Chain A
Amino acid sequence: MSQVLTIDGKDLAFDSGDTLFDVAQAQGIYIPHLCHHPDYPPQGNCKLCTVDVDGQSKCACTTQAETGMSVQTDSTTLTEYRRALTELLFSEGNHHCPGCERSGNCQLQATAYAQGMTYSSFKLLNPQRQIDASHPSVLLDRDRCILCGLCVRASAQEGKHIFTIAGRGSDSTLAVNSDSGLLADTNLSAEDRATQVCPVGALMVKQQGFRIPIGQRIYDQGTIDDLGNRRPQYHSPKSKTARIAGDSDD
Chain B
Amino acid sequence: MTESTTDSRSLTRVAIDPLTRVEGHGKVTLLLDENQVVQQARLHIVEFRGFERFIQGRPYWELPMVVQRLCGICPVSHHLAAGKAIDMLVGAEQLPPTAEKTRRLLHFAQVLQSHALHFFHLSSPDLLFGFSSKASERNIVGLLEKHPETALKGVKLRKFGQQLIETITGKRVHGSLVVPGGINKALKPAEINVYAKQMDEIIQWSTEALELAQGLYQADRKHADFGAIGSPTLSLCGNNGNFELYHGDLRVKDIDGTILLDHISNRDYLAHIEEEVKSWSYMKFPFLKRLGKDRGWYRVGPLARVLNCQQMDTPLAERARLELVNQCYPDQHQSVLLYHWARMIELLHCAESIQQVLKDSELTGGELVAPHGDRNPECYGIIEAPRGTLIHHYKVNDQDLVEEANLIVSTTSNNQAMNEAIRSVCRQYIDGHGVSEGLLNHIEVAVRAFDPCLSCATHALGKMPLSVEILSVAGHETQVLERTSQGEIQQRFYPC
Question: A-side interface residues toward B, CB under 8 Å?
Answer: 98-101, 131, 133-134, 139, 206-216, 240
Contact = CB atoms under 8 A, between A and B. Distances in A.
29 contacts: A98-B65, A98-B69, A99-B58, A99-B62, A99-B65, A99-B69, A100-B62, A101-B62, A101-B65, A133-B399, A133-B400, A133-B401, A139-B59, A139-B400, A207-B61, A207-B180, A209-B59, A209-B62, A209-B179, A210-B64, A210-B178, A210-B184, A212-B184, A213-B170, A213-B185, A214-B169, A214-B170, A214-B171, A214-B176
B61 A101 contact: yes
B80 interface: no
A214 B399 CA distance: 27
A131 to B, nearest CB: 6
A213 B184 contact: yes
A146 B301 CA distance: 45
Most buried by A among B64, B176, B369: B176
A208 B400 CA distance: 12
B401 A131 contact: yes
Contacts of B179: 209-211
A99 B399 contact: no
A214 B400 contact: no
Contacts of B171: 214
B148 interface: no
A181 to B, nearest CB: 15
A209 B59 CA distance: 10
B196 interface: no
Given A99-B65, A131-B57, 11 more contacts: A98-B65, A98-B69, A99-B69, A133-B400, A134-B399, A207-B180, A209-B179, A211-B179, A213-B170, A214-B170, A214-B176
Interface in B430-488: none
Contacts of B369: 240
Interface string B2-46: 000000000000000000000000000000000000000000000
Given A98-B174, A99-B66, A209 B401 contact: no
Contact of B65 (A206, A210, A240): A210
A234 to B, nearest CB: 12
Contacts of B184: 210-213
B35 to A, nearest CB: 52
Contacts of B61: 101, 207-210
Most buried by A among B174, B175, B185: B185
A207 B400 contact: yes
B23 to A, nearest CB: 14
Interface string B195-236: 000000000000000000000000000000000000000000
Interface in B393-417: 399-401
Nearest to B186: A213
A228 B41 CA distance: 61
Contacts of B177: 213
Contacts of A206: 59, 400
Nearest to B371: A240
Contacts of A99: 58, 62, 65-66, 69
Nearest to A215: B170
